[in-house]
Structure 1
Protein backbone atom coordinates (compact mmCIF):
# COMPACT_ATOMS: atom_id res chain seq x y z
CA UNK A 1 0.00 0.00 0.00
CA UNK A 2 2.87 2.34 0.79
CA UNK A 3 4.14 1.95 -2.79
CA UNK A 4 0.75 3.07 -4.13
CA UNK A 5 0.67 6.13 -1.86
CA UNK A 6 4.17 7.18 -2.90
CA UNK A 7 3.59 6.40 -6.57
CA UNK A 8 0.47 8.58 -6.62
CA UNK A 9 2.20 11.66 -5.30
CA UNK A 10 1.04 14.97 -6.74
CA UNK A 11 4.28 15.31 -8.72
CA UNK A 12 3.83 11.92 -10.38
CA UNK A 13 0.14 12.41 -11.03
CA UNK A 14 0.77 15.80 -12.62
CA UNK A 15 3.43 14.19 -14.82
CA UNK A 16 0.97 11.45 -15.84
CA UNK A 17 -1.71 14.03 -16.63
CA UNK A 18 0.77 15.83 -18.88
CA UNK A 19 1.25 12.55 -20.74
CA UNK A 20 -2.50 12.06 -20.92
CA UNK A 21 -2.79 15.53 -22.45
CA UNK A 22 -0.35 14.58 -25.21
CA UNK A 23 -2.26 11.32 -25.78
CA UNK A 24 -5.54 13.21 -26.14
CA UNK A 25 -3.98 15.86 -28.37
CA UNK A 26 -2.50 13.30 -30.76
CA UNK A 27 -5.68 11.21 -30.67
CA UNK A 28 -8.12 14.07 -31.30
CA UNK A 29 -6.06 15.47 -34.17
CA UNK A 30 -5.75 12.01 -35.73
CA UNK A 31 -9.46 11.33 -35.25
CA UNK A 32 -10.42 14.60 -36.95
CA UNK A 33 -8.07 14.18 -39.90
CA UNK A 34 -8.70 10.47 -40.41
CA UNK A 35 -12.48 10.91 -40.27
CA UNK A 36 -12.41 13.49 -43.05
CA UNK A 37 -9.85 11.67 -45.19
CA UNK A 38 -11.33 8.22 -44.54
CA UNK A 39 -14.84 9.38 -45.44
CA UNK A 40 -13.55 10.91 -48.67
CA UNK A 41 -11.61 7.79 -49.62
CA UNK A 42 -14.57 5.57 -48.73
CA UNK A 43 -16.83 7.58 -51.03
CA UNK A 44 -14.32 7.32 -53.86
CA UNK A 45 -14.13 3.55 -53.41
CA UNK A 46 -17.92 3.28 -53.37
CA UNK A 47 -18.49 5.38 -56.49
CA UNK A 48 -16.02 3.24 -58.45
CA UNK A 49 -14.36 5.99 -60.45
CA UNK A 50 -12.51 4.30 -63.33
CA UNK A 51 -8.89 3.53 -62.39
CA UNK A 52 -8.90 5.98 -59.46
CA UNK A 53 -11.06 3.81 -57.20
CA UNK A 54 -8.98 0.72 -57.95
CA UNK A 55 -5.68 2.51 -57.29
CA UNK A 56 -6.96 3.95 -54.02
CA UNK A 57 -8.39 0.58 -53.04
CA UNK A 58 -5.01 -1.05 -53.69
CA UNK A 59 -3.20 1.54 -51.55
CA UNK A 60 -5.78 1.18 -48.76
CA UNK A 61 -5.35 -2.59 -48.77
CA UNK A 62 -1.59 -2.20 -48.45
CA UNK A 63 -1.86 0.24 -45.53
CA UNK A 64 -4.47 -1.88 -43.71
CA UNK A 65 -2.13 -4.86 -43.82
CA UNK A 66 0.91 -2.99 -42.50
CA UNK A 67 1.72 -2.83 -38.78
CA UNK A 68 1.15 0.64 -37.36
CA UNK A 69 4.62 0.59 -35.83
CA UNK A 70 6.15 0.33 -39.31
CA UNK A 71 4.23 3.43 -40.42
CA UNK A 72 5.40 5.26 -37.27
CA UNK A 73 9.00 4.34 -38.05
CA UNK A 74 8.61 5.53 -41.65
CA UNK A 75 7.13 8.93 -40.76
CA UNK A 76 9.73 9.63 -38.06
CA UNK A 77 12.89 7.99 -39.45
CA UNK A 78 12.11 7.45 -43.14
CA UNK A 79 10.71 10.80 -44.21
CA UNK A 80 13.82 12.73 -43.06
CA UNK A 81 15.82 10.62 -45.53
CA UNK A 82 13.52 12.05 -48.21
CA UNK A 83 14.02 15.60 -47.02
CA UNK A 84 10.85 15.84 -44.91
CA UNK A 85 11.50 16.38 -41.21
CA UNK A 86 8.60 16.23 -38.76
CA UNK A 87 8.45 16.65 -35.00
CA UNK A 88 7.60 13.66 -32.86
CA UNK A 89 3.98 14.73 -32.27
CA UNK A 90 3.46 15.60 -35.94
CA UNK A 91 5.02 12.30 -37.03
CA UNK A 92 2.72 10.41 -34.68
CA UNK A 93 -0.39 12.25 -35.91
CA UNK A 94 0.57 11.68 -39.55
CA UNK A 95 1.19 7.96 -38.98
CA UNK A 96 -2.03 7.46 -37.01
CA UNK A 97 -4.01 9.45 -39.59
CA UNK A 98 -2.65 7.38 -42.49
CA UNK A 99 -3.43 4.11 -40.73
CA UNK A 100 -6.86 5.09 -39.41
CA UNK A 101 -7.92 6.70 -42.70
CA UNK A 102 -7.43 3.38 -44.45
CA UNK A 103 -9.49 1.61 -41.79
CA UNK A 104 -12.26 4.20 -41.85
CA UNK A 105 -12.41 4.19 -45.64
CA UNK A 106 -13.49 0.55 -45.55
CA UNK A 107 -15.98 1.25 -42.75
CA UNK A 108 -17.52 4.10 -44.76
CA UNK A 109 -17.69 2.04 -47.96
CA UNK A 110 -19.30 -0.86 -46.11
CA UNK A 111 -21.73 1.49 -44.36
CA UNK A 112 -22.91 2.95 -47.65
CA UNK A 113 -23.29 -0.52 -49.16
CA UNK A 114 -25.44 -1.48 -46.14
CA UNK A 115 -28.05 1.13 -47.11
CA UNK A 116 -30.81 -0.32 -49.27
CA UNK A 117 -30.17 0.58 -52.92
CA UNK A 118 -33.85 1.48 -53.17
CA UNK A 119 -33.13 4.61 -51.14
CA UNK A 120 -30.93 6.01 -53.90
CA UNK A 121 -33.37 4.94 -56.60
CA UNK A 122 -36.31 6.57 -54.80
CA UNK A 123 -34.38 9.80 -54.30
CA UNK A 124 -33.37 9.92 -57.97
CA UNK A 125 -36.96 9.17 -59.01
CA UNK A 126 -38.05 12.23 -56.99
CA UNK A 127 -35.77 14.50 -58.99
CA UNK A 128 -32.63 14.57 -56.85
CA UNK A 129 -29.23 14.50 -58.47
CA UNK A 130 -26.84 11.70 -57.55
CA UNK A 131 -24.85 13.96 -55.19
CA UNK A 132 -28.00 15.32 -53.52
CA UNK A 133 -29.31 11.80 -52.97
CA UNK A 134 -25.97 10.64 -51.62
CA UNK A 135 -25.44 13.48 -49.13
CA UNK A 136 -29.06 14.03 -48.07
CA UNK A 137 -30.49 10.51 -48.12
CA UNK A 138 -27.85 7.77 -48.24
CA UNK A 139 -24.98 9.12 -46.14
CA UNK A 140 -27.10 10.10 -43.08
CA UNK A 141 -28.45 6.54 -42.95
CA UNK A 142 -25.03 5.05 -43.62
CA UNK A 143 -23.30 7.03 -40.86
CA UNK A 144 -25.91 5.91 -38.37
CA UNK A 145 -25.05 2.31 -39.22
CA UNK A 146 -21.33 3.11 -39.01
CA UNK A 147 -21.34 4.68 -35.53
CA UNK A 148 -20.42 1.51 -33.56
CA UNK A 149 -17.61 0.57 -35.97
CA UNK A 150 -16.26 4.12 -36.18
CA UNK A 151 -16.25 4.56 -32.41
CA UNK A 152 -14.57 1.19 -31.98
CA UNK A 153 -11.89 2.29 -34.42
CA UNK A 154 -11.40 5.60 -32.60
CA UNK A 155 -11.04 3.76 -29.29
CA UNK A 156 -8.36 1.59 -30.91
CA UNK A 157 -6.65 4.75 -32.14
CA UNK A 158 -6.49 6.17 -28.61
CA UNK A 159 -4.91 2.97 -27.35
CA UNK A 160 -2.58 2.80 -30.36
CA UNK A 161 -0.97 6.12 -29.39
CA UNK A 162 0.96 4.06 -26.82
CA UNK A 163 2.91 2.54 -29.74
CA UNK A 164 4.35 5.98 -30.43
CA UNK A 165 6.55 5.58 -27.35
CA UNK A 166 8.89 3.80 -29.78
CA UNK A 167 9.64 7.21 -31.35
CA UNK A 168 9.66 8.85 -27.90
CA UNK A 169 6.26 10.54 -28.09
CA UNK A 170 5.83 11.91 -24.54
CA UNK A 171 2.35 10.42 -24.14
CA UNK A 172 0.74 8.65 -21.20
CA UNK A 173 2.59 5.32 -21.37
CA UNK A 174 5.93 7.03 -21.92
CA UNK A 175 5.45 9.18 -18.81
CA UNK A 176 4.47 6.10 -16.79
CA UNK A 177 7.64 4.35 -17.96
CA UNK A 178 9.72 7.31 -16.79
CA UNK A 179 8.11 7.16 -13.34
CA UNK A 180 8.52 3.44 -12.71
CA UNK A 181 11.94 3.57 -14.34
CA UNK A 182 13.06 5.66 -11.37
CA UNK A 183 11.56 3.25 -8.84
CA UNK A 184 10.64 -0.30 -9.85
CA UNK A 185 8.22 -0.49 -6.90
CA UNK A 186 5.97 1.93 -8.80
CA UNK A 187 5.48 -0.52 -11.69
CA UNK A 188 2.18 -2.03 -10.52
CA UNK A 189 0.71 1.30 -9.28
CA UNK A 190 1.52 2.87 -12.66
CA UNK A 191 -0.13 0.02 -14.55
CA UNK A 192 -3.23 0.36 -12.36
CA UNK A 193 -3.40 4.10 -13.02
CA UNK A 194 -2.80 3.60 -16.76
CA UNK A 195 -5.67 1.10 -16.85
CA UNK A 196 -7.96 3.55 -15.07
CA UNK A 197 -7.06 6.52 -17.30
CA UNK A 198 -7.41 4.60 -20.56
CA UNK A 199 -10.71 3.13 -19.35
CA UNK A 200 -12.14 6.55 -18.45
CA UNK A 201 -11.21 8.07 -21.82
CA UNK A 202 -12.41 5.11 -23.89
CA UNK A 203 -15.59 4.62 -21.87
CA UNK A 204 -16.41 8.33 -22.26
CA UNK A 205 -16.09 7.98 -26.03
CA UNK A 206 -18.37 4.92 -25.99
CA UNK A 207 -20.89 6.82 -23.85
CA UNK A 208 -20.95 9.73 -26.32
CA UNK A 209 -21.45 7.30 -29.21
CA UNK A 210 -24.48 5.74 -27.48
CA UNK A 211 -26.01 9.20 -27.00
CA UNK A 212 -25.44 10.00 -30.68
CA UNK A 213 -26.90 6.67 -31.71
CA UNK A 214 -30.07 7.28 -29.66
CA UNK A 215 -30.50 10.82 -30.97
CA UNK A 216 -29.99 9.80 -34.58
CA UNK A 217 -32.46 6.97 -34.10
CA UNK A 218 -35.06 9.28 -32.58
Structure 2
Protein backbone atom coordinates (compact mmCIF):
# COMPACT_ATOMS: atom_id res chain seq x y z
CA UNK A 1 0.00 0.00 0.00
CA UNK A 2 1.27 3.42 -0.95
CA UNK A 3 -0.64 6.01 1.08
CA UNK A 4 1.78 8.82 0.24
CA UNK A 5 1.44 8.28 -3.49
CA UNK A 6 -2.32 7.70 -3.38
CA UNK A 7 -2.83 10.88 -1.38
CA UNK A 8 -0.68 13.08 -3.58
CA UNK A 9 -2.22 16.56 -4.01
CA UNK A 10 -3.06 15.88 -7.64
CA UNK A 11 -4.90 12.68 -6.72
CA UNK A 12 -6.84 14.31 -3.89
CA UNK A 13 -7.81 17.14 -6.21
CA UNK A 14 -8.96 14.60 -8.79
CA UNK A 15 -11.07 12.79 -6.18
CA UNK A 16 -12.62 16.06 -5.04
CA UNK A 17 -13.55 16.84 -8.64
CA UNK A 18 -15.30 13.48 -8.78
CA UNK A 19 -17.01 14.20 -5.46
CA UNK A 20 -18.29 17.48 -6.85
CA UNK A 21 -19.87 15.69 -9.82
CA UNK A 22 -21.40 13.16 -7.40
CA UNK A 23 -22.89 15.95 -5.28
CA UNK A 24 -24.11 17.81 -8.35
CA UNK A 25 -25.90 14.76 -9.74
CA UNK A 26 -27.28 13.89 -6.31
CA UNK A 27 -28.58 17.41 -5.60
CA UNK A 28 -30.42 17.75 -8.91
CA UNK A 29 -31.81 14.23 -8.56
CA UNK A 30 -32.95 14.90 -4.98
CA UNK A 31 -34.85 18.07 -5.91
CA UNK A 32 -36.55 16.58 -8.98
CA UNK A 33 -37.36 13.22 -7.39
CA UNK A 34 -38.81 14.94 -4.30
CA UNK A 35 -41.13 17.07 -6.43
CA UNK A 36 -42.21 14.21 -8.70
CA UNK A 37 -42.41 11.68 -5.87
CA UNK A 38 -44.57 14.02 -3.77
CA UNK A 39 -46.98 14.62 -6.66
CA UNK A 40 -47.28 10.89 -7.39
CA UNK A 41 -47.73 10.15 -3.70
CA UNK A 42 -50.57 12.69 -3.47
CA UNK A 43 -52.23 11.24 -6.59
CA UNK A 44 -52.10 7.75 -5.10
CA UNK A 45 -53.36 9.03 -1.74
CA UNK A 46 -56.33 10.75 -3.37
CA UNK A 47 -57.06 7.57 -5.37
CA UNK A 48 -57.83 9.55 -8.51
CA UNK A 49 -59.59 7.16 -10.94
CA UNK A 50 -57.38 5.73 -13.70
CA UNK A 51 -54.50 8.11 -12.92
CA UNK A 52 -53.98 6.54 -9.52
CA UNK A 53 -53.98 3.04 -11.00
CA UNK A 54 -51.56 4.02 -13.76
CA UNK A 55 -49.11 5.72 -11.39
CA UNK A 56 -49.47 2.81 -8.97
CA UNK A 57 -48.52 0.32 -11.67
CA UNK A 58 -45.53 2.45 -12.70
CA UNK A 59 -44.34 2.86 -9.11
CA UNK A 60 -44.54 -0.85 -8.34
CA UNK A 61 -42.80 -1.74 -11.61
CA UNK A 62 -39.93 0.70 -11.07
CA UNK A 63 -39.48 -0.25 -7.41
CA UNK A 64 -38.95 -3.85 -8.44
CA UNK A 65 -36.31 -3.06 -11.05
CA UNK A 66 -32.59 -2.69 -10.26
CA UNK A 67 -31.33 0.88 -10.57
CA UNK A 68 -28.42 -0.37 -12.67
CA UNK A 69 -30.86 -1.59 -15.30
CA UNK A 70 -32.55 1.82 -15.41
CA UNK A 71 -29.18 3.53 -15.85
CA UNK A 72 -28.34 1.22 -18.74
CA UNK A 73 -31.76 1.89 -20.25
CA UNK A 74 -31.47 5.69 -20.13
CA UNK A 75 -27.95 5.77 -21.55
CA UNK A 76 -27.89 2.87 -24.00
CA UNK A 77 -31.52 2.09 -24.92
CA UNK A 78 -33.12 5.54 -25.24
CA UNK A 79 -30.67 6.65 -27.98
CA UNK A 80 -32.04 3.79 -30.08
CA UNK A 81 -35.38 5.63 -30.20
CA UNK A 82 -33.80 9.03 -30.80
CA UNK A 83 -33.44 10.24 -27.21
CA UNK A 84 -29.77 10.99 -26.64
CA UNK A 85 -28.44 12.37 -23.38
CA UNK A 86 -25.07 13.17 -21.89
CA UNK A 87 -23.71 10.82 -19.24
CA UNK A 88 -24.67 13.22 -16.48
CA UNK A 89 -28.22 13.73 -17.76
CA UNK A 90 -28.68 9.99 -18.26
CA UNK A 91 -27.58 9.35 -14.68
CA UNK A 92 -29.88 12.07 -13.34
CA UNK A 93 -32.89 10.80 -15.31
CA UNK A 94 -32.29 7.23 -14.11
CA UNK A 95 -31.93 8.33 -10.49
CA UNK A 96 -35.01 10.56 -10.66
CA UNK A 97 -37.12 7.76 -12.15
CA UNK A 98 -36.01 5.27 -9.50
CA UNK A 99 -36.06 7.58 -6.47
CA UNK A 100 -39.39 9.18 -7.42
CA UNK A 101 -41.01 5.76 -7.17
CA UNK A 102 -39.43 5.18 -3.76
CA UNK A 103 -40.40 8.61 -2.46
CA UNK A 104 -43.95 8.29 -3.78
CA UNK A 105 -44.52 5.35 -1.44
CA UNK A 106 -42.98 7.23 1.49
CA UNK A 107 -45.25 10.21 0.80
CA UNK A 108 -48.36 8.07 0.39
CA UNK A 109 -47.66 6.25 3.65
CA UNK A 110 -46.98 9.53 5.43
CA UNK A 111 -50.24 11.05 4.23
CA UNK A 112 -52.18 7.93 5.20
CA UNK A 113 -50.81 8.24 8.74
CA UNK A 114 -52.72 11.50 9.34
CA UNK A 115 -55.77 11.02 11.56
CA UNK A 116 -58.96 10.94 9.48
CA UNK A 117 -60.70 13.07 12.11
CA UNK A 118 -58.51 16.04 11.26
CA UNK A 119 -59.36 15.67 7.61
CA UNK A 120 -63.09 15.49 8.32
CA UNK A 121 -62.84 18.52 10.60
CA UNK A 122 -61.01 20.50 7.92
CA UNK A 123 -63.57 19.58 5.27
CA UNK A 124 -66.52 20.38 7.57
CA UNK A 125 -65.01 23.81 8.28
CA UNK A 126 -65.31 24.67 4.59
CA UNK A 127 -61.86 23.80 3.25
CA UNK A 128 -61.71 22.22 -0.17
CA UNK A 129 -59.87 18.93 -0.77
CA UNK A 130 -56.89 20.84 -2.18
CA UNK A 131 -56.84 23.28 0.76
CA UNK A 132 -57.10 20.42 3.24
CA UNK A 133 -54.14 18.75 1.57
CA UNK A 134 -52.11 21.98 1.53
CA UNK A 135 -52.83 23.28 5.02
CA UNK A 136 -53.64 20.19 7.09
CA UNK A 137 -52.47 16.88 5.64
CA UNK A 138 -49.25 17.70 3.79
CA UNK A 139 -47.54 19.82 6.52
CA UNK A 140 -48.10 17.14 9.16
CA UNK A 141 -47.29 14.30 6.81
CA UNK A 142 -44.01 15.87 5.69
CA UNK A 143 -42.86 16.21 9.30
CA UNK A 144 -43.37 12.50 9.81
CA UNK A 145 -41.68 11.70 6.51
CA UNK A 146 -38.42 13.53 7.31
CA UNK A 147 -36.44 10.49 8.58
CA UNK A 148 -37.38 8.07 5.76
CA UNK A 149 -37.03 10.78 3.11
CA UNK A 150 -33.54 11.76 4.29
CA UNK A 151 -32.64 8.07 4.49
CA UNK A 152 -33.74 7.72 0.87
CA UNK A 153 -31.66 10.74 -0.11
CA UNK A 154 -28.62 9.16 1.55
CA UNK A 155 -29.26 6.01 -0.49
CA UNK A 156 -29.54 8.17 -3.61
CA UNK A 157 -26.17 9.76 -2.91
CA UNK A 158 -24.57 6.34 -2.57
CA UNK A 159 -26.40 5.07 -5.66
CA UNK A 160 -24.66 7.69 -7.81
CA UNK A 161 -21.65 5.38 -7.69
CA UNK A 162 -23.54 3.00 -10.00
CA UNK A 163 -23.14 5.57 -12.77
CA UNK A 164 -19.55 4.40 -13.00
CA UNK A 165 -20.87 1.79 -15.47
CA UNK A 166 -21.46 4.57 -18.04
CA UNK A 167 -18.14 6.24 -17.17
CA UNK A 168 -19.72 9.27 -15.53
CA UNK A 169 -16.75 11.20 -14.08
CA UNK A 170 -18.02 10.94 -10.50
CA UNK A 171 -16.14 9.90 -7.37
CA UNK A 172 -15.99 6.16 -8.00
CA UNK A 173 -14.94 6.66 -11.61
CA UNK A 174 -12.07 8.94 -10.58
CA UNK A 175 -11.05 6.43 -7.90
CA UNK A 176 -10.83 3.68 -10.51
CA UNK A 177 -8.66 5.87 -12.73
CA UNK A 178 -6.24 6.51 -9.86
CA UNK A 179 -6.20 2.81 -8.94
CA UNK A 180 -5.35 1.97 -12.54
CA UNK A 181 -2.11 3.90 -12.24
CA UNK A 182 -0.72 1.80 -9.41
CA UNK A 183 -2.13 -1.30 -7.71
CA UNK A 184 -0.70 -0.04 -4.42
CA UNK A 185 -3.15 2.90 -4.52
CA UNK A 186 -6.26 0.70 -4.35
CA UNK A 187 -6.76 0.37 -0.59
CA UNK A 188 -5.72 3.96 0.30
CA UNK A 189 -7.97 5.34 -2.45
CA UNK A 190 -10.99 3.34 -1.35
CA UNK A 191 -10.39 4.40 2.25
CA UNK A 192 -10.42 8.02 1.13
CA UNK A 193 -13.62 7.79 -0.93
CA UNK A 194 -15.28 5.86 1.91
CA UNK A 195 -14.39 8.77 4.20
CA UNK A 196 -15.81 11.26 1.69
CA UNK A 197 -19.10 9.37 1.40
CA UNK A 198 -19.27 9.03 5.18
CA UNK A 199 -18.76 12.75 5.81
CA UNK A 200 -21.48 13.78 3.36
CA UNK A 201 -23.97 11.13 4.48
CA UNK A 202 -23.28 11.77 8.17
CA UNK A 203 -23.98 15.46 7.59
CA UNK A 204 -27.32 14.52 6.04
CA UNK A 205 -28.09 12.29 9.02
CA UNK A 206 -27.39 15.12 11.45
CA UNK A 207 -29.62 17.44 9.41
CA UNK A 208 -32.38 14.82 9.51
CA UNK A 209 -32.21 14.57 13.30
CA UNK A 210 -32.29 18.34 13.69
CA UNK A 211 -35.32 18.65 11.43
CA UNK A 212 -37.03 15.80 13.27
CA UNK A 213 -36.36 17.28 16.70
CA UNK A 214 -37.47 20.71 15.52
CA UNK A 215 -40.94 19.41 14.72
CA UNK A 216 -41.39 17.09 17.70
TM-score range, shorter-chain basis? over 0.9
Match of 1:126 in 2: 125
Q: Secondary structure at the match of 1:194?
A: helix
Structure 2 Cα separation of the partners of residues 118 and 105 of structure 1: 24
1:7-34 per-position Cα deviation (integer Å, ceiling 9, x unaligned)? 1110000000000000000000000000
Match of 1:140 in 2: 139
Please show how residues 101-180 of structure 1 align to structure 2 within 5 Å.
101-180=100-179
1:133-161 per-position Cα deviation (integer Å, ceiling 9, x unaligned)? 11111111101111111011000000000
Match of 1:99 in 2: 98
TM-score by length of 1: 0.97
Long gaps (5+) in structure 2: none
Q: Structure 1 runs of 4+ off > 6 angstroms?
A: none
CA RMSD of aligned residues (A): 0.9
Q: Secondary structure at the match of 2:90?
A: helix
Shift of the alpha carbon at 1:216? 2.3
Structure 1 Cα separation of the partners of residues 38 and 97 of structure 2: 13
Structure 2 Cα separation of the partners of residues 203 and 6 of structure 1: 28
Match of 2:35 in 1: 36
Structure 1 Cα separation of the partners of residues 116 and 168 of structure 2: 45
Structure with greater contact order relative to length (CA < 8 Å, sep ≥ 6): 2
1:38-67 per-position Cα deviation (integer Å, ceiling 9, x unaligned)? 000000011011111011100110000000
Q: Secondary structure at the match of 2:65?
A: coil
Structure 2 Cα separation of the partners of residues 44 and 89 of structure 1: 29
Match of 1:212 in 2: 211
Match of 1:65 in 2: 64
Match of 2:198 in 1: 199
Greater mean deviation of Cα atoms: 193-202 or 116-125: 116-125
Q: Secondary structure at the match of 1:105?
A: helix
TM-score by length of 2: 0.98
Match of 2:79 in 1: 80
Structure 2 Cα separation of the partners of residues 122 and 128 of structure 1: 9
